[in-house]
Amino acid sequence: GQQVMQIPQYQHVQEGEDFTTYCNSSTTLSNIQWYKQRPGGHPVFLIQLVKSGEVKKQKRLTFQFGEAKKNSSLHITATQTTDVGTYFCANAAGNKLTFGGGTRVLVKP
Amino acid sequence: SQTIHQWPATLVQPVGSPLSLECTVEGTSNPNLYWYRQAAGRGLQLLFYSVGIGQISSEVPQNLSASRPQDRQFILSSKKLLLSDSGFYLCAWSLGLAVDTQYFGPGTRLTVL
């Protein structure tokens, strides 16, 4: 898969506020997947995006694939303590997933 | 439904000792299988993957090896552990599609002392 970079590495969020994490590539991606890993747990698949400009929502989570298919974002509204964890984007190609470094989200109550 | 098992859940081993971690998948046939390592607070490093019995691809040269003796069994081994082998080891499976989702096991937390 293509190398993907995630920013920010850490995100401290006040409970109730919104935040966005970004995934960027220097090359065009055929797809982007997002995973969430709770502290002490294992990564769990959230969503997959394949179309240019695609937007998908899961309750308070909004996932977007850029028009040029070189970037993706995850926006969380009204952050809750259950949103704590590390969010990874990944690109699937050639039987493998190439993961970004992750955004570690900490929520302040 | 498909399930993936890993054991042991935690392991503390001395430097220089051997290692064997096991992963099994239920409810699917001929899955792709993967071993990842995650250092504390870090990202996922792909170590090995397998598309079939006896077929192993190594991503990172190191003192670890992998084997797939059965369709739904994936084993990670080492003859002599190093301190740097400490970490969270995750097994995952996928269907082997062109654009594939991976499903992770609960992981093994290895501490080498």
What one-character-per-residue DSSP string does B26-44 give? Answer: ES-SS-EEEEEEE-TT---
Please check whether residue A46 touches B, CB under 8 A: no
Residue pair B61/B39 in contact (Cβ under 8 Å)? The answer is: no
Please check whether residue B49 touches A, CB under 8 A: yes
Mean pLDDT of chain B: 94
Distance between CA atoms of residues B37 and A108, nearest Å: 29
Tens of pLDDT, residues B54-92: 999 998 868 999 999 999 999 999 999 999 999 999 999
pLDDT at A94 (0 to 100): 84
B103/A33 Cβ within 8 A:
no
Among the listed residues B105, B82, B113, the one whose alpha carbon sits nearest the alpha carbon of residue B11: B113
B46/A96 Cβ within 8 A:
yes
pLDDT at B40 (0 to 100): 84
The radius of gyration of chain A from alpha carbons, rounded to an integer in Å, stands at 13
For chain A, the structural domain boundaries read 5-60+68-108
Distance between CA atoms of residues B48 and B71, nearest Å: 15
What is the torsion angle, in degrees rounded to the nearest 10, for the CA atoms of residue A4, residue B107, residue B46 and residue A82? 0
A20 band by pLDDT with thresholds 50, 70 and 90: very high
Distance between CA atoms of residues B66 and B76, nearest Å: 5
A47 band by pLDDT with thresholds 50, 70 and 90: very high
Among the listed residues B29, B9, B18, the one whose alpha carbon sits nearest the alpha carbon of residue B70: B29
Is a pLDDT exceeding 90 seen at residue A13? Answer: yes
Bond from prior residue into B8 cis (ω within 30 degrees of 0): yes
Structure tokens at B14: 């001395």
Is a pLDDT exceeding 80 seen at residue A28? Answer: yes
Tens of pLDDT, residues A65-88: 999 999 999 999 999 999 999 999
pLDDT at A56 (0 to 100): 98
Domain count, chain B: 1
Mean pLDDT of chain A: 95
B90/A42 Cβ within 8 A:
yes
Mean pLDDT of B7-21: 97
Q: Percent of chain B scored above 90 by pLDDT?
A: 85
Could you tell me which residues come within 8 angstroms of residue A46 by beta carbon, excluding any fewer than 6 positions away? A33, A34, A35, A36, A58, A61, A63
Domain span at residue B47? 3-112
Sign of CA dihedral B24, B25, B26, B28: negative
What's domain A5-60+68-108's superfamily in CATH? Immunoglobulins (2.60.40.10)
Chain A's closest residue to B31, CA to CA, is A95
Query: CATH no. for residue B41?
Result: 2.60.40.10
**A88: chain B residues, CB-CB within 8 Å:** 43-44
Tens of pLDDT, residues B51-63: 999 999 998 868 9
Please check whether residue A33 touches B, CB under 8 A: yes
**B91: chain A residues, CB-CB within 8 Å:** none
**A104: chain B residues, CB-CB within 8 Å:** 41
pLDDT at B62 (0 to 100): 80
Please check whether residue A48 touches B, CB under 8 A: yes
Mean pLDDT of B102-106: 96
pLDDT at A3 (0 to 100): 86
